[in-house]
Amino acid sequence: MISPPTPLTSLSRLTTFSIGTNNTSLPNSIRSSSSLSVSSPPTMQGGFLSKKPYEPPSWASHLSPIPPHTFSLGHLPTPIHKWNLPNLPDGTEVWIKRDDLSGMQLSGNKVRKLEFLMADAVSSGADCVITVGGIQSNHCRATAVAARYLNLDSYLILRTSKVLVEKDPGLVGNLLVERLVGAHIDLVSKEEYAKIGSVTLAEILKNKLEKEGRKPYIIPVGGSNSLGTWGYIEAIREIEQQIENSGMAKFDDIVVACGSGGTIAGLSLGVNIKQLEGNGKKPFICSMRGL
């Protein structure tokens, strides 16, 4: 089965976010499988896959640079509902923000970052994207699907064990989806990944593709950079609007599973800026690594 997307969470009032193979010239243990050719990105007016000008929350309008556009890739806003856990301390409520419902193949926290990153890729004139992750990376799956929606090729550098790096990775879990959308899959051993690093591996592949006449755009591990972080600054605005529209009490704490750090960076930045702007109590942000 496809592994579930990472959720998000908050406490006391707590909300939770449920958020054929050919060798290449990359280092020793990387292999790739070919993908489909692509044409120019689609142009749509409104709704899913539409490109739209970005207007930041008023409390974040002083940040720079502000992204000029986003692509509408997620089914947003995602709902917030009470999570009836047993044995909670008196006076404690746990609510969950269902970012696992942000869209089928793109579900989870990845899609919010990709709305900004894919818009930048298309605006830069890229014809393909490169990203890096584990062998069953949800981020890599979401990137490959988003790229196919936008008529871009995708190149995925996937980390796996040394004994498996020379074998076909098969059609298990996220790999099935990635191959269905025509992603190029490159394998690298965990040892080589640790030695070389994700940034250098992506740059090596980028240089190779540029020599072939391609125009690649690199998306970092987890989509976690300053641009991707805007996805979860936006999530804070979304939560704020949901609280105002529903009459829910404000949350005291936010708990989020943490991997590459972009989600918690955006949430932390958002709540801190709002607090500095005098918009009420700042929730405490807590991360749980390795979930």
Determine the Cα–Cα distance for residues 214 and 247; give it in Å rounded to an integer.
51
List 137, 154, 198, 224, catalytic entry: 137
Domain range list for the chain = 21-47+109-223, 58-107+228-289
pLDDT tens digits for 105-135?
777 889 999 999 999 999 999 999 999 999 9
Residue 50 is among the residues annotated as catalytic for this protein? no
Question: 58-107+228-289 architecture in CATH?
Answer: 3-Layer(aba) Sandwich (3.40)
HSE-CB of 177 using CA atoms within 13 angstroms: 23
- Per the CB < 8 A criterion, the answer to whether 64 and 78 are in contact is no
Higher-scoring residue by pLDDT: 3, 49 = 49
User: Model's pTM, two decimal places?
Assistant: 0.83
pLDDT digits (tens, 9 = 90+) for 138-157: 999 999 999 999 999 999 99
6, β-bridge pairs: none
Instruction: Let me know if 247 is exposed, middle or buried by CB neighbors in 10 A (0-12, 13-18, 19+).
Output: exposed
How does pLDDT run across 165-212, given as a tens digit for each residue?
988 888 999 999 999 999 999 999 999 999 999 999 999 999 999 999
Q: Which residues pair with 159 in a beta bridge?
A: 134, 188
Enumerate long-range contacts of 165-171, CB under 8 Å, 24 or more apart.
165/29, 165/30, 165/31, 165/189, 166/29, 166/31, 168/21, 169/135
Taking the C-alpha atoms of residue 24 and residue 27, their distance in angstroms, rounded to an integer, is 8
Second CATH level (architecture) for the domain 21-47+109-223: 3-Layer(aba) Sandwich (3.40)
At 16, is the pLDDT very low, low, confident or very high (cuts 50, 70, 90)? low
